[in-house]
Amino acid sequence: MKRMIDFKIEKIIPLCAQFGVDITDEQKQKLNLYGNLLLEWNEKINLTAITEPEEVLYKHFYDCILFLKHIEIPKNSTLIDVGTGAGFPGMVLKIVRPDIEVTLLDSLNKRLVFLNDVIEKLELLGIKTVHSRAEDAGKNKLYREKYDFATARAVAALPVLLEYCTPLVKKGGMFVAMKGPSGKEECDASVNAAKVLNVTEPKIICEALNQDTERTFIVFKKISQTAPKYPRKPSDISKQPL
């Protein structure tokens, strides 16, 4: 590896402490190594357009940790990160909450090769990668209705995300979509999807990451099991969103 970049994790430690997330020295080191691996691998495969260390710190790391400000994850919960990409938010959540069991799902295997390298080098336990499309995982009994939480960060329009993600969540569990400033408008377009997929009306939470970036968390609670027909085939989902 090249000379290590210092991502100045200490800048966000007091911010995280304000909402009860205490980042240890070991977790600080792991976040820093993760950032270095991200930028190193990003020269070989397209993982992120955000490469300035300060931006990685706030728009990736702090962004993902903010999840824990608004969503209470009980000890030893299970979480699946759908379309995880470079591991956001699932990998960061695992680093700062090592008690939770995390599954990183992505359809592009080369991203998972990167994530497996991170898991190995950070010596993380209780985290695995799954190479699958979300609609296939949602039909697979290994993953369907197995998780306390599902999350996705800016993967698709919200009605589409709901159909991909809610089949993976247990009854009583939650799906949390991480969106930008358009989150409220996407909620308005998701009323029917929420009803069909047996989830509550969304709780919408807005946060400023820094001066120019806003994060919207959209939280749905699963009321009852998802009908077996969902998720549908991708062509049907894109042509006729719920």
- Beta strands at 78-82 and 169-179: parallel, antiparallel or unpaired: unpaired
% the chain with pLDDT above 90: 86
Q: Which helix (H) or strand (E) holds 41?
A: helix 25-42
Per-residue model confidence as pLDDT tens digits over 137-173: 999 999 999 999 999 997 789 999 999 999 999 999 9
Q: Is the peptide bond before 89 cis (omega within 30 degrees of 0)?
A: yes
- Tell me if 110 sits within 8 A of 134, measured CB to CB: no
Q: Which helix (H) or strand (E) holds 191?
A: helix 191-196
% the chain with pLDDT above 70: 99
Per-residue model confidence as pLDDT tens digits over 33-44: 999 999 999 999
Mean pLDDT, rounded, of the chain = 94
What is the CATH topology of the domain spanning 73-239? Answer: Rossmann fold (3.40.50)
**Residue 184, phi-psi category: left (phi > 0), alpha (psi -120 to 50), beta (remainder):** alpha
Q: Tell me 100's DSSP state.
A: S
- Give me the mean pLDDT over the 196-201 stretch: 95
Cα dihedral across residues 129, 135, 141, 146: positive or negative: positive
Token representation of residue 233 = 């085939």
Domain residues of the chain, as ranges? 73-239
Burial pattern 176-185, b for ≥16 Cβ within 10 A else e, equals bbbbeeebee
- With H, G, I as helix, E, B as strand and everything else as coil, classify residue 124: coil
Per-residue model confidence as pLDDT tens digits over 60-85: 999 999 999 999 999 999 999 999 99
Q: Tell me 227's DSSP state.
A: P
Please state the pTM of the whole predicted model: 0.96
